[in-house]
Structure 1
Amino acid sequence: MDTLHARTATTGTAPSPSATGSLFRPLGGALGAETDALDLAQPLDAATIEAVRAAFREHHLLVIRNQTLDKERMYRFAELFGPIENHMIRLADGSKWDAVHTITNLDAAGNPVAKPFISSNYFWHTDKSFLPEPSLLTMLQAVELPPDGGDTQFADMGKAYDALPDAMKRRIEGLKSVQSLEFMRRYTGSAPPTEEDIAAAPPIAHPLVRTHPETGRKSLYIGMYSARIEGMPEEEGRGLLEELLAHATQERFLYTHKWQLGDLVFWDNRCLLHRAIANFEMGKHRRVLMRIVVKGTVPN
Structure 2
Amino acid sequence: MNSLHAPAASSAAASADVAAHSLFTPLDGIIGAETDRLDLSRPLDDRTVEAVRTAFRDHHLLVIRNQSLDKERMYRFAELFGPIEGHMIRLSDGSKWDAVHTITNLDAGGNPVAKPFISSNYFWHTDKSFLREPSLLTMLHAVELPPNGGDTQFADMIAAYDALPEDTRRRIDGLKSVQSLEFMRRYTGSAPPTEDDIVAAPPIAHPLVRTHPETRRKSLYIGMYSSHIEGMSEEEGRALLEELLEHATQDRFVRTHRWRHGDLVFWDNRCLLHRATANYEMGKHRRVLMRVVVKGSVPE
Structure 2 length normalisation: TM-score?
Answer: 0.94
1:13 corresponds in structure 2 to: none
Q: Deviations over 1:9-36 (max 9, x none)?
A: xxxxxxx976553100011222000000
| Contact 2:20/2:55 (<8 A) preserved | no
- Please list the CA deviations of residues 53-101 of structure 1 after superposition, one character each: whole Å capped at 9, or x if unmatched: 0000000000000001100000000000000000000000000000000
- Is the CA contact (8 Å cut-off) linking 2:102 and 2:288 kept in structure 1? yes
- Per-residue CA deviations over 1:112-137 (Å, capped at 9, x if unaligned) read 00000000000000000000000000
Letter in 2 for 1:232: M
- Counting matched residue pairs gives 285
Query: What's 1:78 paired with?
Result: 78
Q: Is 1:198 aligned to residue 222 of structure 2? A: no
Alignment of 1:1-300 (within 5 A): 19-300=19-300
Partner SS, residue 238 of structure 2: helix
The answer to whether the 8 A contact 2:19-2:51 is kept is no
Report the alpha carbon displacement of residue 256 of structure 1 after superposing the two structures with TM: 0.3
Q: Percent identity?
A: 83
Q: Contact 1:20–1:47 (CA<8 Å) still a contact in 2?
A: no
Q: What displacement does 1:231 show?
A: 1.2
Post-superposition Cα deviations, 1:153-188, rounded to whole Å, max 9, x if no partner, equal 000000000000001001101000000000000000
Q: TM-score, normalised by structure 1?
A: 0.94
Quote the Cα distance in structure 1 between the aligned partners of 2:231 and 2:49: 44
Please list every run of at least 4 consecutive aligned residues from structure 1 whose deviation after the TM superposition is greater than 3 angstroms: 16-20
Q: What is the root-mean-square deviation of aligned Cα atoms in Å?
A: 1.0
Q: Give the aligned residue type for 2:145.
A: L
The answer for the alignment partner of 2:4 in structure 1 is none
